[in-house]
Structure 1
Amino acid sequence: MSVTTPDASEESTPPAAATLRSGSLGTADIAFFVVSAAAPLTVMAGVAPLAILLGGIGAPAGYLIAGITLAVFAIGFTTMSRHIKSGGAFYAYITRGLGRPVGIGAALLALVGYNGMEIGVYGLLASAGKDSLHALFGADVPWLPISLAGLLLIGYGGFRSIDFGAKVLGVLLLAETGILVLLAGGVLVKGGAHGLSGASFAPDNVLVSGTAVVLAFAFAAFTGFESTVIYRREARDPERTVPRATYAAIGFLGLFYAFVVWIVIQAFGNEEVIAAAAKDPGGLFFSAITTYVGGWAADLMHIFMVTSIIASLLAFHNAINRYGLALAEEGVLPRSLGRIHPRHRSPYAAGIAQTALGAVVVLAFWAAGADPYQQLLLWVNTPGMLGLFILQLLAAIAVPCYFRRVRHQEGTLRTVVAPIAAAVLLATAIGLVITHIDLFTGASTTVNTVLIGTAPVVFLVGLALAWWLRRERPEVYAEFAAEPTP
């Protein structure tokens, strides 16, 4: 039986990928798509204050450490991309290196991981939307209607097609990056609260237990960087363009994140910023830009904060839809999820299912009286974050395993040394996050055990599914993550 797959790349296809012409993209184009999907303002104003509160003034270094780790990982990952013509699926790479059972487990883990990352962000949308409506209009709106409105908007954006998403992401990137640069300029010109300081990068402030929590936030901030390789068929010179775009995206995000977090620390001062973050984490960036630029800039930041979160949600939604589409066409998920809209050419069935799942989770947290930020965001993001960590670790391990079995002319540094180093760094980061998970979630031991155990359980379910497919549907198993026919 031949299974039609959207070339494993489509499982994480960001907006616009399917409509671009072959050879039309350069390094800057691809890096731009990836950075726009990262939604920098969401990462900074929405989450970085908590990283500062829990990690201290050494928080900027955590973003640099995450960026360096992923840059090392990218060496082996992009080298393998030269040999995997189907493109950027983590699960496709893992399948080639570690076999179909592990690949199927990784596919389910990716699906659950991206869902966790996206659905949790509806809590951030609710919190930021509520704060923005109060700041701009003095209105006090319950958080549930904001989350549900976001679900409908994102569901419509995915339904309308990938072109719609690309245009939205591009415009919003310019707005949100611009407002952060404006904040940085104001702080630098005025010299911060007490003069500019490099204490954030001193070992005494970096080598603390809270840095493990910062790493969790930092690695999550890079989610989606691996999607650079899906543009292989659209790149002008893929063997050069894809690696360069990957390094450019990681380099920009790592440096920009670290710089902006350092800027907001300077805005309050090394001694005062922790207290400010504890008092009002959601208002930390808004207070800083009001002081150093003006109230009008804070109003703009409120608007751009909400639109940045929407951009992030749209990027996640499109990625998840294409995971569902790919796995449905692989035969791993129900075929009904693989339906394509005849006019918009969008994977609308997978999109409807994802929106419905998001609504169920949001409503469940609301019914339980949960806080949208402290619980919906952090608790739902945690298993998603750990799942994607594990995916990166498996992908790093897959690289040397793959190159041991194929003939190639790649150097040992790229095929063995870098991926093994990345695997060690990623495993260390995972261990640090798990051992300090209580700082990240603020939850009970029982809740933390469930959150930590979700990703391994999903992976084991994937292994069991692989065993069942091999026994009951061998044709589907044999075609899983296969290279497309030329």
Structure 2
Amino acid sequence: MPVTTSSPRPAEGTPPALRTGALGTSDIAFFVVSAAAPLTVMAGVAPLALVLGGIGAPVGYLLAGLTLAVFAVGFTTMSRHVRGGGAFYAYITRGLGPAAGVGAALLALVGYNGMEIGVYGLLGSATHDTALALTGTDLPWLPVALAGLLVIGYGGYRSIDFGAKVLGVLLVAETGILALLAAGVLIEGGAHGLSLASFAPGNVLVPGTAAVLAFAFAAFTGFESTVIYRREARDPDRTVPRATYLAVGFLGLFYAFIVWTAVQAFGDERVVEAAGSDPAGLFFSAITTYVGGWAADAMHVLIVTSVLASLLAFHNAINRYGLALAEEGVLPRALARVHPRHGSPYRVGIAQTVLGTAVVLVFAAAGADPYRQLLLWVNTPGMLGLMALQLLAALAVPLYFRRVSHQEGALRTVVAPVAAAVLLATAIVLVITHLDLFTGASATVNTVLATVVPAVFLAGLALAAWLRRRRPEVYAGFGAEPVPDPLPATPTATESALPRD
């Protein structure tokens, strides 16, 4: 794991600021990949993809990764020109104007909060299932979720490099157990010998592939948050694009490889039946067979840590979005405070933890199921919101570069973002048309969940109109000027000798 350095404490009288030079490429990638929760996605969702798409499901993850890599071309090109901490909304403001930017900012807040707060339900249910499987204890979910809120709140309160170290350890553990399963399957040669039938066109071009693509795109949620850490990155013009491509490439290839090994574990003829009869136990059964019961027990525990890692990654992203909006004057200025010792946006973090606690308590008081309702009903609008932001950002790229002088090529500024916009719009349609597979809810509930995203964006447009009338200075300056990157910390002699990624 790379050694990180950070800025010295600000001089007396200087307002505390985020730590500069604290994150390298791998640190940022840890945040992004951890947010995706690879182990939870594979053990919890991939079996359903196999049921719906058959043995060609691994290709769905490759196609989703390829689409998002195309999106990353224009996105990272624009990241060299937009230097603020507002990420999505800053990009959309520059390309589509301040009204769309304010709408995007509100959508980002709701989207990222939805992606995080809903997962506390998953933390409660996953911990309950793990305790039941390993000890026979029927652990209630609410105390676990509340304890998780405190743990994640503390992690966000600490410095960003502290979070990077924690996520590095947790990510290595959860991907390691999946790699161990894959190694066991490959060494044994699978159930009936290794086969590449998953990649044959006849097994990919089937009706269920559309549903697989919907699941696959959802599995990458949060990868774009690399740009949120620009102000804390070392050499951000290089670090942020590298981390983005690293995260997308790793997730796409890793997901496809692990799903393919699951097919090999049961065989082309049996895997769909096995996934359909016990989707929740598919990966546990495979790792028990090819590695041992102890590995299945470890996987139970690591699913819980995978969820914690995802929560911490999203919490840190939300905190930086909130800080940027408080600095813009859209959120209360009181939230635009950075901890003097940890260099963390701690006030936004406290506010986010309070909000998460309130939502969890409301669902608990209503007797809601932590998985089917708290997770799925809160997470789904969050996922759709982030996908909509990706689409808006892709549309913003060519419009931005039409208005500014630059030396970027047309492939990066026009061709790739337009292609990404078409592909992302298709992905959103696929997800919405298969929303019942994500939620298991009624058509009425699904309609409400799907309309949250346009409703929030329209509320953002209304907020923009209000700002334009009542606070024109905030509206005029919203995302318009880049926030200069602070000077990097001057390393000590010892730090200069340490390796950097």
The TM-score with structure 1 as length reference comes to 0.90
**Long gaps (5+) in structure 2:** 1-16, 486-501
* Mapped contact 1:54–1:439 kept (Cα < 8 A): no
Give how far 1:342 is off: 4.3
* Mapped contact 2:228–2:321 kept (Cα < 8 A): no
Compared with structure 1, are the counterparts of its residues 354 and 424 closer, same or farther at alpha carbon in structure 2 (3 Å cutoff)? same
Query: SS at 1:223's partner residue?
Result: coil
Aligned residue in 2 for 1:467: 465
- Equivalent positions of 1:1-400 (< 5 A) are 18-21=18-21, 25=24, 27-28=25-26, 30-86=28-84, 89-230=87-228, 232=230, 238-400=236-398
In 2, distance between residues paired with 1:205 and 1:371?
36
* Mapped contact 1:267–1:288 kept (Cα < 8 A): yes
> Partner amino acid for 1:465?
L
Compared with structure 1, are the counterparts of its residues 447 and 398 closer, same or farther at alpha carbon in structure 2 (3 Å cutoff)? same
> Partner amino acid for 2:369?
D
Compared with structure 1, are the counterparts of its residues 438 and 149 closer, same or farther at alpha carbon in structure 2 (3 Å cutoff)? same
Is 1:404 aligned with 2:391? no
In 2, distance between residues paired with 1:100 and 1:179?
46
Query: SS at 2:45's partner residue?
Result: helix
Is 1:441 aligned with 2:453? no
Give how far 1:124 is off: 1.9
> Partner amino acid for 1:166?
A
Give how far 1:355 is off: 2.0
Compared with structure 1, are the counterparts of its residues 88 and 461 closer, same or farther at alpha carbon in structure 2 (3 Å cutoff)? closer
In 1, distance between residues paired with 2:464 and 2:324?
16
In 2, distance between residues paired with 1:327 and 1:467?
17
In 1, distance between residues paired with 2:84 and 2:436?
40
Give how far 1:237 is off: 5.5
* Mapped contact 1:222–1:253 kept (Cα < 8 A): yes
The CA deviation string for residues 2-44 of structure 1, in whole angstroms up to 9 with x for no partner, is: xxxxxxxxxxxxxxx943538x73x555444533443322222
Give how far 1:349 is off: 2.8
Compared with structure 1, are the counterparts of its residues 352 and 245 closer, same or farther at alpha carbon in structure 2 (3 Å cutoff)? closer
Give how far 1:216 is off: 3.1
- Aligned pairs, how many? 468
**Long gaps (5+) in structure 1:** 1-16
More helix by share: 1
> Partner amino acid for 1:81?
S
> Partner amino acid for 2:378?
V
Aligned residue in 1 for 2:455: 457
In 2, distance between residues paired with 1:265 and 1:184?
11
> Partner amino acid for 2:42?
M
- Match of residue 423, structure 1, among 421, 424, 432: 421
* Mapped contact 2:47–2:282 kept (Cα < 8 A): yes
The CA deviation string for residues 402-428 of structure 1, in whole angstroms up to 9 with x for no partner, is: 011111121111111111000000001
The TM-score with structure 2 as length reference comes to 0.87
In 2, distance between residues paired with 1:333 and 1:62?
39
Give how far 1:239 is off: 4.4
Quote the RMSD (CA, aligned, Å): 2.3
In 2, distance between residues paired with 1:247 and 1:320?
22
Give how far 1:367 is off: 3.6
Compared with structure 1, are the counterparts of its residues 80 and 430 closer, same or farther at alpha carbon in structure 2 (3 Å cutoff)? same
* Mapped contact 1:46–1:124 kept (Cα < 8 A): no
Query: SS at 1:363's partner residue?
Result: helix
* Mapped contact 2:31–2:313 kept (Cα < 8 A): no
Give how far 1:398 is off: 0.3
* Mapped contact 1:111–1:320 kept (Cα < 8 A): yes
* Mapped contact 1:235–1:241 kept (Cα < 8 A): yes
> Partner amino acid for 1:125?
L
Query: SS at 1:19's partner residue?
Result: coil
> Partner amino acid for 1:212?
A
> Partner amino acid for 1:440?
F
Q: Which moved more, 1:368-377 or 1:323-332?
A: 368-377
In 1, distance between residues paired with 2:63 and 2:128?
33
Query: SS at 2:69's partner residue?
Result: helix
> Partner amino acid for 1:295?
G
Give how far 1:176 is off: 1.2
> Partner amino acid for 2:131?
L
In 1, distance between residues paired with 2:106 and 2:327?
14
* Mapped contact 1:46–1:128 kept (Cα < 8 A): no
* Mapped contact 2:121–2:374 kept (Cα < 8 A): yes
Compared with structure 1, are the counterparts of its residues 31 and 317 closer, same or farther at alpha carbon in structure 2 (3 Å cutoff)? closer
> Partner amino acid for 1:228?
T
Give how far 1:106 is off: 0.5
Give how far 1:221 is off: 2.3
Q: Which moved more, 1:452-461 or 1:262-271?
A: 262-271
The CA deviation string for residues 228-267 of structure 1, in whole angstroms up to 9 with x for no partner, is: 3355566665544443332222111100011111111221
> Partner amino acid for 1:472?
R
Aligned residue in 2 for 1:11: none
In 2, distance between residues paired with 1:50 and 1:218?
11
* Mapped contact 2:35–2:221 kept (Cα < 8 A): no
The CA deviation string for residues 345-383 of structure 1, in whole angstroms up to 9 with x for no partner, is: 433332232223222332333344433223322222111
* Mapped contact 2:85–2:320 kept (Cα < 8 A): no
Compared with structure 1, are the counterparts of its residues 396 and 297 closer, same or farther at alpha carbon in structure 2 (3 Å cutoff)? same
* Mapped contact 1:90–1:391 kept (Cα < 8 A): yes
In 1, distance between residues paired with 2:73 and 2:195?
33
In 1, distance between residues paired with 2:282 and 2:143?
25
Is 1:483 aligned with 2:471? no
Compared with structure 1, are the counterparts of its residues 159 and 228 closer, same or farther at alpha carbon in structure 2 (3 Å cutoff)? closer
Give how far 1:139 is off: 1.1
Give how far 1:278 is off: 3.4
> Partner amino acid for 2:21?
R
> Partner amino acid for 1:42?
T
In 2, distance between residues paired with 1:199 and 1:262?
10
Q: Which moved more, 1:333-342 or 1:414-423?
A: 333-342
